[in-house]
């Protein structure tokens, strides 16, 4: 009797696809039986859509023996957005948004860790009025605050813009982040992810998509720096 295979989850497939060259974000749609119905990918201009599709087909076949019809794969390319680094420097541990009904206010708390030091947490918070759609923006600000706590003095990220748009019929969360350096120079980065589940978490994922590429080149605090 052969060994029973463990079912592959949607999150595992999406995580694999976002490691491919040029892929920024991926969304997998399955049917009631777990079969893949659609794969929607946001990519940079690093590779052509046909190359991205071939990479997806090859990676799924090699990793899990999954054969996918190329007609089920759609690729949308964003200009001005670079591919996400293969191994993210910073990842989400938790995103929490608390609603104070009495004060009609929201508080977002984001906890991040660096992939090479998962024991050290970096926490950022942001508070504001409980307006419609405010949770995502407050979470993004909290995420930026957590990232800034990792940086040496003189470096600081700031959130310049956040919005949700549609690409190929799918909701996409976009952010614009500005890095201020000690010499006063400003460097703009864009982040983009498919909006899925909690909009607050999607906002933080978009922030990380924008800042991770910068963090690989910035001076970060060591453990003893506090």
Cβ distance 141 to 157 under 8 Å? no
149 confidence band (pLDDT: 50, 70, 90): very high
CATH of 108-225, one of 3.30.1380, 3.30.160, 1.10.3470, 1.10.8: 3.30.160
Q: Choose between 37 and 34: higher pLDDT.
A: 37
Mean pLDDT of 190-215: 89
Mean pLDDT of 19-23: 79
Closest CA to 167 of 37, 72, 41, 46: 41
| pLDDT value at residue 225 | 52
- pTM exceeds 0.85 for this model: no
| pLDDT value at residue 57 | 93
- What distance in Å separates the CA atoms of residue 3 and residue 164, rounded to the nearest whole number? 44
Q: What share of the chain is helix, strand, coil (3-state, %, to 5)?
A: 25, 40, 35
| pLDDT value at residue 39 | 94
Q: Choose between 212 and 122: higher pLDDT.
A: 122
CATH architecture of the domain with range 10-77: 2-Layer Sandwich (3.30)
Cβ distance 41 to 74 under 8 Å? yes
| pLDDT value at residue 80 | 62
The answer, yes or no, to whether residue 21 has pLDDT greater than 80, is no
The answer, yes or no, to whether residue 223 has pLDDT greater than 60, is no
87 confidence band (pLDDT: 50, 70, 90): very low
Closest CA to 51 of 23, 29, 27, 78: 23
Lowest pLDDT segment from 3-7, 54-58, 149-153, 189-193: 3-7
Cβ distance 171 to 138 under 8 Å? no
| pLDDT value at residue 53 | 93
Assign 80 to helix, strand or coil: coil
Domain boundaries, the chain: 10-77, 108-225
What is the spatial order of strands in the sheet that 90-100 belongs to? 90-100, 105-114, 117-129
Residues in Cβ contact with 121 at an 8 Å cutoff, skipping those fewer than 6 apart:
93, 111, 112, 113
Backbone dihedral angles phi then psi of residue 176, each to the nearest 5 degrees = -120, 125
């Amino acid at each position: 009797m052969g060994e029973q295979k463990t079912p592959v989850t949607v999150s595992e497939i999406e995580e694999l696809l976002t490691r491919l060259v040029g892929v920024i974000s991926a969304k997998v749609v399955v049917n009631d039986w777990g079969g893949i119905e659609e794969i929607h990918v946001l990519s940079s201009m690093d590779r052509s859509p046909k190359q991205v599709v071939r990479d997806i087909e090859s990676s799924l076949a090699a990793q899990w023996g999954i054969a996918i019809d190329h007609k089920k794969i759609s690729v949308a390319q964003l200009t001005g957005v670079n591919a996400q680094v293969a191994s993210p420097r910073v990842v989400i541990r938790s995103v929490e948004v608390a609603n104070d009904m009495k004060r009609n206010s929201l508080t977002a708390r984001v906890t991040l860790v660096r992939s090479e030091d998962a024991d050290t947490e970096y926490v950022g918070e942001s508070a504001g009025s409980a307006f419609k759609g405010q949770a995502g923006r407050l979470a993004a600000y909290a995420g930026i605050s957590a990232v800034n706590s990792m940086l040496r003095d003189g470096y600081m990220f700031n959130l310049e813009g956040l919005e949700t748009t549609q690409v190929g019929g799918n909701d996409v969360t976009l952010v614009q982040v500005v890095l201020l350096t000690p010499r006063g120079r400003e460097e703009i980065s864009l982040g983009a992810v498919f909006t899925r589940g909690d909009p607050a978490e999607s906002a933080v994922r978009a922030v990380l998509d924008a800042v991770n590429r910068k963090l690989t080149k910035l001076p970060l605090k060591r453990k003893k720096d506090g």
